[in-house]
Structure 1
């Protein structure tokens, strides 16, 4: 009786295995494009996201609220003293973003604190971009809106 069950189970296992290979793995979702102009969550600036080499980067394109020192504001909070004289306008804040499945991974720089974080960005519809900055296991998420 035992050999009969084993003989029956082997063809069933083979058919199941064959069906799994015929269906194949689910295709990986590609990250939706994120290029364009985006209004920050605080609504104080517009970030231009565009290709830079083989990656995607984002620069401060326009101020919606002038910084404390005016439109000529410098990167005074940068921990690297050599970079403290660069203007905020046109400065990169998103760098090295590459597609990883349905998200983009890279680094984000916060000129208000002078700190840089590991980051993930993802499209959440035609007019919404989810921007996440992480320090270790702790992350903060912002929602940026498409600029018109």
Structure 2
């Protein structure tokens, strides 16, 4: 009886660790669709965020670092793209889906609601949308090897 209780207690205590491991599958570096940038997804508190850590073309022709020139806030237009947070506030739901986050698109200078889905083949489906997730755009990111 004591062994059964010990086993049951072990199983109950290890469940949060298993769930955390499942949620952490998204961690690491990902190529965007065009493979022009790498975004590192990391834990930020109890949620997940992502920032640009590599750019295929990190500078303009004059050698200066690329900046967030399309940002709607004038004071943010001079910040560097390298290190820029693109993904914020994602929470692991279940079935390899991270929801309730936002994605910033520096090409357009716009922020969208977003959900991330890790596919069985290892690709990351990134869906940005306004309002309802049915109205939006989906792109595929691949893990950096």
Which range, TM-score by smaller chain?
Answer: 0.7 to 0.9
The yes-or-no answer on 1:144 pairing with 2:141 is: yes
1:98 is matched with which residue? 91
Q: 1:87 to 1:133 in 2, by over 3 A?
A: same
Give a deviation string over 1:49-71, Cα, whole Å, max 9, x none: 01112210000010124465656
Q: Which runs of 5+ in 1 are unaligned?
A: 1-29
The yes-or-no answer on 1:80 pairing with 2:73 is: yes
Give a deviation string over 1:89-127, Cα, whole Å, max 9, x none: 000000011112231110000000000000000111353
- Provide the alpha-carbon RMSD of the alignment: 1.9
State the distance in 1 between where 2:45 and 2:32 align: 24
Q: 1:71 to 1:135 in 2, by over 3 A?
A: farther
3-state SS in 1 of match to 2:120: coil
3-state SS in 1 of match to 2:75: helix
Larger Rg: 1
Aligned match for 1:61, one of 53, 66, 69? 53
Q: How many residues align?
A: 119
The yes-or-no answer on 1:121 pairing with 2:116 is: yes
Q: TM-score, normalised by structure 2?
A: 0.74
State the distance in 2 between where 1:68 and 1:135 align: 31
Q: 1:119 to 1:67 in 2, by over 3 A?
A: farther
Tell me which of the two structures has the higher relative contact order, counting C-alpha pairs closer than 8 angstroms and 6 or more residues apart: 1
Q: Which runs of 5+ in 2 are unaligned?
A: 1-18
State the distance in 2 between where 1:145 and 1:65 align: 19
Contact kept? 1:71, 1:89, Cα under 8 Å: no
